[in-house]
Amino acid sequence: MALAAVVLVASLAPSAAYAQDRPFEGVTLTVITQSPPYIARPVQMLAPEWEERTGGTIDLVTVPFGDLYTQIMSDFALGAGRYDVVIFASAWMGDFAGNRYILDITDWVLVDEDLAFDEIVPTYQDTVRWGDRIYGIPLDGDVHTLYYRRDALENPEYQERFEETFGYPLGVPQTWEEYRDVAEFFHGWDWDEDGRTEYGAIEAMQRGGQAFWFFLSRAAPIVCPEGVEGCLWFDPEDMTPRIDNPGFVRALEQWIEILDVGVPGMINFDSGDVRSQFAAGQASLGFDWGDTGIIGSTSDESTIRGQLGTAILPGSLEVYDPETGEWQTLDEPNFAPFLAFGGWVGGISVTSQHAEAAYDFLAELGSPEFSYIAVTTDATGFNPYRPRHFEDFSRWLEMGFEESDLELYLEAIEASLSHPNAQLDLKLPGQPRYMDAAEVELARALAGEVSAERALENIAAQWNQITDDIGREQQLAFYREFLGLD
Partner 1 sequence: MSTSRWVPAAFLMPAVVLLLLLAIFPFVFTIMLAFGRVSLVGGLSIDFGTLRNWSVLLADERFWNAARVTVTFVVVAVAIQYVLGMCLALLVNRRVPGITAFRVLFILPMTLTPVAVGYMWRMLFNESIGPLNDLLSRVGLSGLPWLSQGRYALASLIAVDVWHWTPFIMILLLAGLQAVPQEVVEAATVDGATAWQRFRFVVFPLLVPTSLAAIVLRSLEAAKIVDEVYILTGGGPGTSTESLTLYAYNVGLQGFNLAYGATIAISLFLGVLILTMVFLLSAWSLTASRTW
Tell me which residues touch partner 1 (CB under 8 A): 66-67, 69-70, 73, 77-79, 95, 98-99, 197, 199, 206-209, 263-268, 270, 277, 280, 282, 429-430, 432-433, 436-437, 440, 443-449, 469-471, 474
- Of 45 and 259, which has the nearer Cβ to partner 1? 259
Output the smallest distance, CB 443 to partner 1, in A: 5
Count how many residues are written for the chain: 486
DSSP 426: P
- Of 20 and 70, which has the nearer Cβ to partner 1? 70
DSSP 146: E
The alpha carbon dihedral of 196, 197, 199, 205 has a sign of negative
Distance CA 469, CA 485 (A): 23
- Of 134 and 445, which has the nearer Cβ to partner 1? 445
- Of 262 and 384, which has the nearer Cβ to partner 1? 262
Q: Are 424 and 123 within 8 A, CB to CB? A: yes
Distance CA 1, CA 263 (A): 49
Q: Are 141 and 135 within 8 A, CB to CB? A: no
- Of 200 and 221, which has the nearer Cβ to partner 1? 200
Output the smallest distance, CB 20 to partner 1, in A: 37
The alpha carbon dihedral of 123, 106, 119, 36 has a sign of negative
**Torsions phi, psi for 133 (to 5 deg):** -110, 160
Output the smallest distance, CB 297 to partner 1, in A: 21
Output the smallest distance, CB 135 to partner 1, in A: 16
Q: What is the DSSP string of 465-476?
A: HHHHHH-HHHHH
Alpha helices in 380-471 (DSSP H): 387-391, 394-398, 403-417, 431-446, 452-470
Output the smallest distance, CB 352 to partner 1, in A: 17
- Of 299 and 376, which has the nearer Cβ to partner 1? 299
Output the smallest distance, CB 269 to partner 1, in A: 9
The alpha carbon dihedral of 344, 350, 353, 354 has a sign of positive
Output the smallest distance, CB 196 to partner 1, in A: 8
Distance CA 418, CA 154 (A): 27
DSSP 196: S
DSSP 37: S
- Of 178 and 425, which has the nearer Cβ to partner 1? 425
Closest CA to 384 of 293, 298, 285, 299: 293
**Is the preceding peptide bond at 37 cis, omega within 30 degrees of 0?**
yes
Output the smallest distance, CB 268 to partner 1, in A: 5
- Of 317 and 438, which has the nearer Cβ to partner 1? 438
- Of 4 and 447, which has the nearer Cβ to partner 1? 447
- Of 280 and 373, which has the nearer Cβ to partner 1? 280
Output the smallest distance, CB 461 to partner 1, in A: 12
- Of 119 and 190, which has the nearer Cβ to partner 1? 190
3-state secondary structure of 317: strand
Q: What is the DSSP string of 100-131?
A: T-B---HHHHHH-TTTTGGGS-HHHHHTTEET
Output the smallest distance, CB 263 to partner 1, in A: 5
Distance CA 453, CA 245 (A): 9
**Strands 57-63, 85-89: pairing kind:** unpaired
Residue 320: enclosing H or E segment and its boundaries? strand 316-321
Quick one: the chain helix, strand, coil %, rounded to 5? 45, 15, 40
Output the smallest distance, CB 209 to partner 1, in A: 6
